Amino acid sequence: MDIDWLSGPLLQQLNSGVILLNKQLQVVYINPYICRRADIQLESVQGKDLFSVFADAPKAWLSRKLNSVLSLQSPAFSSWEQRQYLFKLPHLRPVSSANQYMAQNCNMLPLTEPSSGEHFVCLLIEDATDAYVYQSQLQQSNLQLQQVNRLDGLTGVLNRNYWQQQLEVEVQRAGRYQHPLSLLFFDLDKFKRLNDEYGHQAGDIVLIEVAKLIGSLLRETDLFGRYGGEEFAIILPDTPLEGAIEVAKRICQRVAATPIEYQQQQLMTSVSVGVSQFSIATSADELIQQADLALYQAKRNGRNQVVTYYPELIDSLKKVKT
Ligand SMILES: Nc1nc2c(ncn2[C@@H]2O[C@H](COP(=O)(O)OP(=O)(O)OP(=O)(O)O)[C@@H](O)[C@H]2O)c(=O)[nH]1
């Protein structure tokens, strides 16, 4: 059966793009799908160089690819994942779609006219905008999920797991570049009493507000995490001991001076802070232990104050415990 009649209507109605080029990469044919989107008339572009018709196409890369299809007589493919688009064409998704141009998959096929033996290259262009948009949304959701997995659900500061990973990173960085690094450990004072007196919900609000207040006193590069129930920790990169003590004192003063609104009541709280520094401590674990010991000492000294770790502290605490 002769099916020559098929090609005309098919090319007219095909829901993908077809561009036929000769060996000089001049336009022989462009189907209506592309003409409509590129706002061109076939008659006015026939015989013109592809890159004069589509001035934004990646000329060096695409002409190399098309010439290799012609010389090797083997097909080539360009995916939207590799190059989002070859030709700047509008897509048919709603305007709200973030992607301005049609993402494209493009097959490049070598063709030979049977009677003359002349070689051509045919580009078949498929709209891959849906796949592009879905993948972008997926990446966005994964990113959000990753963020959520790093944060403490109640206070929004870093969770313990992620905070500890960051401490390892910062300790390695400080060791490698000989940068100062300090650590603050702090714990709300008499928090059990506050919970018992005003209820657990009031306790939660206090944790949220204290975390917010302290977060506002820190630098962008400081890493603020929730270590346990009412215990928090802050990594201060590039911060020597004196700077860390200053931050710790500021935290102590501001928390003690800031009432927290809860059901028309003003709740007062305070924190005790332990400070340690990388140089005396030589690992992440040691930094934590030393800040924790200093915090313990701050509690023993009467709370609402800052204590810096010093090596003799271990002995004095051992004596207390025995
Ligand atoms: N509301 C609330 N309370 C919490 C949360 N996590 C821990 N807590 C409470 O925090 C209290 C901690 O009590 P303790 O360890 O005795 O410490 P403290 O009362 O603060 O006493 P000091 O630390 O010695 O000043 C407990 O009552 C816990 O139930 C939380 O997420 N929300």
- Give the domain ranges of the chain: 4-136, 151-321
**pLDDT over 90, % of the chain:** 84
Round to whole Å and give the CA distance between 95 and 81.
22
User: Which mutation among 230, 272, 300 tests ligand 1's pocket best, with the greatest number of atoms within 8 A of CB?
Assistant: 230
At 235, the pLDDT band (50, 70, 90 cuts) reads very high
Q: Does pLDDT of 17 surpass 70?
A: yes
Q: Does pLDDT of 320 surpass 70?
A: no
**Cβ atoms 162, 223 nearer than 8 A:** no
Would you name the residues annotated as active-site residues? 230
Q: Find residue 146's DSSP bridge partners.
A: none
Look at residue 156 in the predicted model and tell me its pLDDT. 96
The structure tokens listed for 182 are 């300090």
Round to whole Å and give the CA distance between 54 and 85.
12
Q: Span 284-294, mean pLDDT?
A: 96
Q: Find residue 234's DSSP bridge partners.
A: 184, 224
Question: Measured in angstroms, how far is the CA atom of residue 154 from the centroid of ligand 1?
Answer: 14
Does ipTM come in above 0.90? yes
Question: Measured in angstroms, how far is the CA atom of residue 219 from the centroid of ligand 1?
Answer: 27
Total count of residues recorded for the chain: 322
Domain over 4-136 is classified CATH 3.30.450.20: yes
The structure tokens listed for 62 are 């695409």
More confident residue, 93 or 261: 261
Q: Considering the domain 151-321, what is its CATH architecture? A: 2-Layer Sandwich (3.30)
Look at residue 322 in the predicted model and tell me its pLDDT. 58
Radius of gyration of the chain (CA): 34
Look at residue 90 in the predicted model and tell me its pLDDT. 87
**pLDDT 10s digits, 166-185:** 999 999 999 999 999 999 99
Q: Which of 112, 130, 129 is nearest to 121 (CA)?
A: 112
Question: Measured in angstroms, how far is the CA atom of residue 223 from the centroid of ligand 1?
Answer: 22
Report field, pTM of the whole predicted structure over 0.80: no
Q: Which residues line ligand 1 (CB under 6 A)?
A: 154, 187-193, 195, 200, 203-204, 207, 229-230, 299, 303
